[in-house]
Copies of this chain bind each other. A is one copy, B any other.
Amino acid sequence: MSDSRSSRRQRNAPTINDVAREAGVSPMTVSRVINGEQVVRAATREKVQAAITALNYAPSAAARTLAGGEETRIGLLYSNPSSSYLSEFLVGSLDQASRSGVDLVVEKWDDEETSIEAVVAHLQRGRIDGVILPPPLCDLAALVDALDRAGIPAVAVATGRAPSDLAAVSIDDRHAAYEMTRHLIALGHDRIGFIKGNPNQSASAKRFEGYVAALTEAGLPMRDELVAQGYFTYRSGLDAAEHILALADPPTAIFASNDDMAAATVAIAHRSGLDVPGDLTVCGFDDTSLATTIWPELTTIRQPINAMARAAVEVLVRQLKGRRKGDAAEHLVLDYALIRRQSDAAPRMRPRLGGR
């Protein structure tokens, strides 16, 4: 078939030397013609072109990259392997890296064991040209600074607050949380609990802002006791949910800042003999695989993780190719979606009609 362009060279594939001999010039001249350099005399060029045609010559991509030294390698630096997020992120970025013709090096960083200087040095040794930073590393200012000082471009993924000089790919966390809260309100809930995300991630604050905005817009009071601090882990969700549900007047719905904490909330609810969503509505954020693993399946905000990963690779590659000082960094905002599943329902009693 049309395999002529593939990287597998045919056995007797003509080389630049064959062309040179046929045309009666040096390989160097053939190279110039191939690369469209204008200096070559028209007559010479034609002789070379004829030889190329006669031999059906196609240059070897491998040889060109090797000689030209143009390989670009990008790194994907991650920590805290929230595996459900990571696997989707990996699949997306790998695929795009392959399409963009760059090498992707996946690097795990354990911040307990390795200093920032050490990771950056490691990346430099590996000749990483640029780095993708999924959360929570995207918000680690010290890392971003160190990368910047080392001259390694980076792109932050899913950060809630990207400095204007740092490329970023994200969704509108604030608006997504706003929409979910509005959805809960539309269902009839007026006492809605909220479990915050880890303060070390800027998206956490954005999600909380969205929750507050929807409440305010609906004229609902924002009650501090209904808000608990979480850290995106299941464990922290357990504690937060326990706290909220132990209230004298507990909420009829709880919106957790991610799926892990929402799953923990469901577990606590069940342990307390509450039916979800009959007695308590629970919603999450992210739509990781956990959302559809547990029962009931979680109503949540779908983050397009795969698409964000692809976009991150593209943004980084563009930045590496066309690097000009002063160019503003790209900030891409992708679409999210509110996914309704089985964990939300109208509250059992309509407070507006009866009160409690």
Interface residues of A (CB under 8 A from B): 4, 6-14, 55-58, 60-63, 65-66, 69-71, 73, 81-84, 86-88, 90-91, 94-95, 98, 103-108, 122-129, 233-235, 238, 260, 264, 267, 270-271, 288-290, 293-295, 323
Contact = CB atoms under 8 A, between A and B. Distances in A.
Contacts of A271: 270-271
24 contacts: A4-B323, A6-B127, A8-B71, A8-B127, A10-B71, A11-B129, A56-B107, A58-B73, A58-B103, A60-B66, A60-B71, A61-B103, A63-B66, A81-B88, A82-B289, A83-B83, A83-B288, A84-B84, A90-B90, A90-B91, A94-B104, A233-B293, A270-B271, A271-B271
Contacts of A87: 81, 83-84, 86-87, 90
A297 B129 CA distance: 40
B84 A122 contact: no
A66 B234 CA distance: 50
A272 to B, nearest CB: 10
Given A58-B105, A238-B295, 4 more contacts: A10-B129, A83-B84, A90-B90, A98-B103
A82 B88 CA distance: 10
Copies of this chain, tallied across the complex:
2
Contacts of A108: 91
A257 B122 CA distance: 40
Contacts of A122: 56
Given A83-B288, A88-B83, A126 B234 contact: no
Contacts of A294: 234, 267
B83 A125 contact: no
A218 to B, nearest CB: 33
Contacts of A8: 69-71, 127
Given A9-B69, A88-B83, A234 B295 contact: yes
A127 B13 contact: yes
A126 B14 contact: yes
A120 to B, nearest CB: 11
Contacts of A270: 267, 270-271
Nearest to A297: B235
A41 to B, nearest CB: 26
A66 B69 contact: no
Contacts of A88: 81, 83
Contact of A11 (B66, B127, B323): B127
